[in-house]
Structure 1
Amino acid sequence: MSTQTLMTSIDIYCERTDAGYWSEPINALTNLSFILAALWGYWIYHRLHKKNGETKGDILILIAIFMAGLIGAGSFLFHTHAQVWSSFADVIPIWTFVAYYLFLAIYRIVGPSLARAFRIYGITLVCIIAVLFAFSRSLLASNEADAGGDGLNGSTQYLPGIIALYGFALVLQLRKHAARGWILAAAIVFTISIFFRTIDMRVCSAFPLGTHFLWHTLNGLFIALLLQTLVRFGRKSAR
């Protein structure tokens, strides 16, 4: 990919009106929600760690908390620079966090052996990819794709995540796991946030600010709920 391509401007949100750095101030600043989610996660982690008198840190949990903060930083870069290179800074931390969290949640919260956790993780990834592929083929066949590339302003990529979340919540409910309410709440918040991401470009004429900032705000809460679930119920001492 050439340098010129990487520097190409991207304008796919209502709030952006030009290629300027500060053309999306609300979309940029609401990325603080991810930083706050990470700080809340670390605060609870530190409090529980100290309460239990543990002398060694849980590096796997700390990595997840750090990754959550990177989501905010990457998204801030995208909504200020709004170029192809910054879109990678936005997307890579998100999907890295998703992939890492998915495995850690299976291993630490569901609680299988490490080998079985990898097997479940692999099967889950294959199912997610299959669902995403099916959605993509269906949309291409119907010729309903819009500027977002999928008819949903680019939100199709997150639909397998919704399915996986509700599936995970169901598994925890069947097991009567104490974390089931947290995951269900996270799934509901994520569903609502995707709705606001999807309608952003469709409401520009009536609401020029758009609704993408609500995607950020609610996603910050979503990430916070995921981290709290991991910190409270996925710690080694809790198993």
Structure 2
Amino acid sequence: MSASAALIDLYCERTSAELWNEPLNALSNIAFVLAAIFAWRWRARRQQGDIWEALLIVLAGSIGVGSFLFHVFANSWSQSADVIPIWSFVAGYALLTIYRSTEHNLTRTLRISGIAMFVTIGISYFTGQDIVSVNATSTLPLNGSLQYAPALAALLIFSIIAWLRAHPAKRHMAVASLVFCTALLFRTIDLTSCEATLGMGTHFVWHLLNGLMVGILLHAMIVRMPPIKRHI
């Protein structure tokens, strides 16, 4: 097997190099696609939006597609298909949230985004070694979940700011934070729970809860943080 096609074995459910060796981990990604479908309907019902909002919805659906491919093929190219949409969505959602919170003030958006990027780089510096392993027997702190520390930090900060400002999306952000923390727990215990779950693991629950979280965040963006005026 070539280096580019080398098997990436990270999860309890995978026991061989067969394509459909992670059925639960693969099929549970339908949660992201459903979140995107519902979000598109919410957007259509409101009859107002911008192209960035539409792009976020597409990215949400592509998270499910990319993760599905990774859990089917489990190699380097499918891992890229998994990781790129996730972090693109995180970055895009953060930017659009800041942009709309500043009432479309580009200067303030860039200034706040710069600060957020600096903080994210700082967090990633301490957690960046916890990203991936090609072997599930390799031990990583929290089973690799530390890589999501920047996303969790951003979500918690947005939640705190929303509550302090009594923003209409404050409950959405708080619930999304709680769901994401719970999802991280299930991702973290996947390998250690393998025997107790009869080889199923808990990674598929991470997908289901993250799909729910993405749906909550998109609902917050579309319903509670609509654009000031129509751009398209």
- Shared fold per TM-score greater than 0.5: yes
Counterpart of 2:220, as a letter, is T
1:237 deviation in Å?
3.6
Question: Equivalent residue for 2:111?
Answer: 119
Alignment equivalent of 1:7, drawn from 5, 19, 31: 5
Larger CA deviation: 101-110 vs 65-74: 101-110
TM-score under structure 2 length normalisation = 0.90
Aligned length: 224
1:152 deviation in Å?
1.2
Question: Equivalent residue for 1:212?
Answer: 203
1:88-167 to structure 2, matched below 5 A, reads: 88-111=80-103, 113-136=105-128, 147=137, 150-167=140-157
1:6 deviation in Å?
1.4
Moved over 4 A (4+): 146-149
Counterpart of 1:10, as a letter, is I
CA offsets 1:142-166 (integer angstroms, 9 cap, x no match): xxxx856631111111112212211
1:82 deviation in Å?
0.7
Question: Equivalent residue for 2:70?
Answer: 78
Give the unaligned 5+ runs of structure 1.
140-145
Task: Provide the rounded CA distance (Å) in 1 between the counterparts of 2:205 and 2:192.
Answer: 15
Task: Provide the rounded CA distance (Å) in 1 between the counterparts of 2:138 and 2:171.
Answer: 33
Question: Equivalent residue for 1:176?
Answer: 166
The answer to whether the 8 A contact 1:37-1:220 is kept is: yes
User: Over aligned residue pairs, what C-alpha RMSD do you find?
Assistant: 2.0
Task: Provide the rounded CA distance (Å) in 2 between the counterparts of 1:136 and 1:22.
Answer: 30
Task: Provide the rounded CA distance (Å) in 1 between the counterparts of 2:50 and 2:138.
Answer: 40
Task: Provide the rounded CA distance (Å) in 2 between the counterparts of 1:88 and 1:31.
Answer: 16
Task: Provide the rounded CA distance (Å) in 1 between the counterparts of 2:175 and 2:138.
Answer: 28
Question: Equivalent residue for 1:188?
Answer: 178
The answer to whether the 8 A contact 2:152-2:177 is kept is: yes
Task: Provide the rounded CA distance (Å) in 2 between the counterparts of 1:148 and 1:161.
Answer: 24
Counterpart of 1:224, as a letter, is G
1:126 deviation in Å?
1.0
Alignment equivalent of 2:20, drawn from 22, 27, 33: 22
**1:233 pairs with 2:224:** yes
Alignment equivalent of 1:45, drawn from 43, 46, 61: 43
Question: Equivalent residue for 2:33?
Answer: 35
1:32 deviation in Å?
0.2
Identity fraction in percent: 43
Counterpart of 1:229, as a letter, is A
**1:60 pairs with 2:58:** no
The answer to whether the 8 A contact 1:147-1:153 is kept is: no
Question: Equivalent residue for 2:133?
Answer: none
Give the unaligned 5+ runs of structure 2.
131-135
TM-score under structure 1 length normalisation = 0.88
Counterpart of 1:236, as a letter, is P
1:234 deviation in Å?
2.6
Question: Equivalent residue for 1:197?
Answer: 187
Counterpart of 1:213, as a letter, is F
Task: Provide the rounded CA distance (Å) in 1 between the counterparts of 2:39 and 2:218.
Answer: 6
Task: Provide the rounded CA distance (Å) in 2 between the counterparts of 1:195 and 1:238.
Answer: 40
